[in-house]
Amino acid sequence: MCSHYQTLKDAELLLKKFGVRRKPAALGKYDMWPRYEGLFVRRPIEHDAGDEAVPEREAVSGRWGLISAMTRADGLDRAGKLSTFNARAETAATSFTFGNAWRRAQHCIIPADAIFEPDWTSGVAVATRFTRLDGEPLGIAGLWDRYRDAAGQWHESYTMLTVNADNDPVFSRYHQAGKEKRMVVILPEGAYGDWLTANPLHRRDLLTPVPSDMLLAAPMTESVQLSIL
């Protein structure tokens, strides 16, 4: 699972790599941790309205840590304390938190410069930064949802989808011994549109581990780790 990633520094990349027509007002924090406000890319809610003015994709700011639209206002405090920044692709459909977004095919892509995972091979967790080998940004498959607060205001939120990585040649080395290995779903650039429009019958075909030769892993020294916290 991923609890730390770095988003984009350059808003132009959203237009160039993720097909977003309009630049966001701000990119927000570069180093992202759960419950921070971050950017995700989705099809606009009005995408089926038949209005040509509605763009194919939009960049939206939301909470990293999905809160279901099914959550009542009196349950928001409890929901906000849960670790919902990652969702297991295998069980999202039956989850209270993620089920609404999954059933409604509310797919999104989370743009990232890098993700971080702990390497436990030495017996001590060493933060390791993963980037694309070619230097291009990562597009992580996710789900989004929106909930109302007690005042009736809408709030956006999102999560990253993960799959089993026990047999993955790279990610099987990460996380603690004896625990299931997980990894976020990093989409090929050519699959961005497929993921955003995927129907429930075919989307699981897109939720697969990224080829290991696509990524570069760089262990972080203590001084570097402190500088990014």
CA distances from 37 to 44, 85, 195, 201 (A): 19, 12, 23, 31
Find out whether 155 and 147 touch, Cβ atoms under 8 Å.
Answer: yes
Strands, E, within the chain: which ranges?
Answer: 5-6, 31-32, 37-42, 58-64, 86-88, 107-112, 114-119, 126-132, 138-148, 154-164, 182-184, 215-219
> For 114-174, what is the HEC assignment?
EEEEEECCCCCCEEEEEEECCCCCEEEEEEEEEEECCCCCEEEEEEEEEEECCCCCCHHHE
Between vectors from CA 159 to CA 155 and to CA 162, what angle results, nearest 5°?
Answer: 170
> So where are the chain's domains?
5-114+136-164+184-212
Average pLDDT over residues 207-219: 90
User: Could you tell me the pLDDT band of residue 2, with boundaries at 50, 70 and 90?
Assistant: confident
Q: What is the pLDDT of residue 224?
A: 40
pLDDT band at 226 (very low <50, low <70, confident <90, very high): very low
Q: What is the pLDDT of residues 126-175, one digit of tens each?
A: 899 999 999 999 999 999 999 999 999 999 999 999 999 998 888 888 87
Helix (H, G, I), strand (E, B) or coil at 98: helix
- Residues 183-196 as b/e (b if ≥16 CB within 10 A, e otherwise) read bbbbbeeebbeebb
The pair of three-digit structure tokens given for residue 143, joined into one six-digit string: 């789900």
CATH assignment, 5-114+136-164+184-212: 3.90.1680.10
For 49-97, the pLDDT digits (tens) are 566 777 889 999 999 999 999 999 999 999 999 999 999 999 999 999 9
pTM value is 0.91
Give tens-digit pLDDT for 6-41: 999 988 888 899 999 888 877 889 999 999 999 999
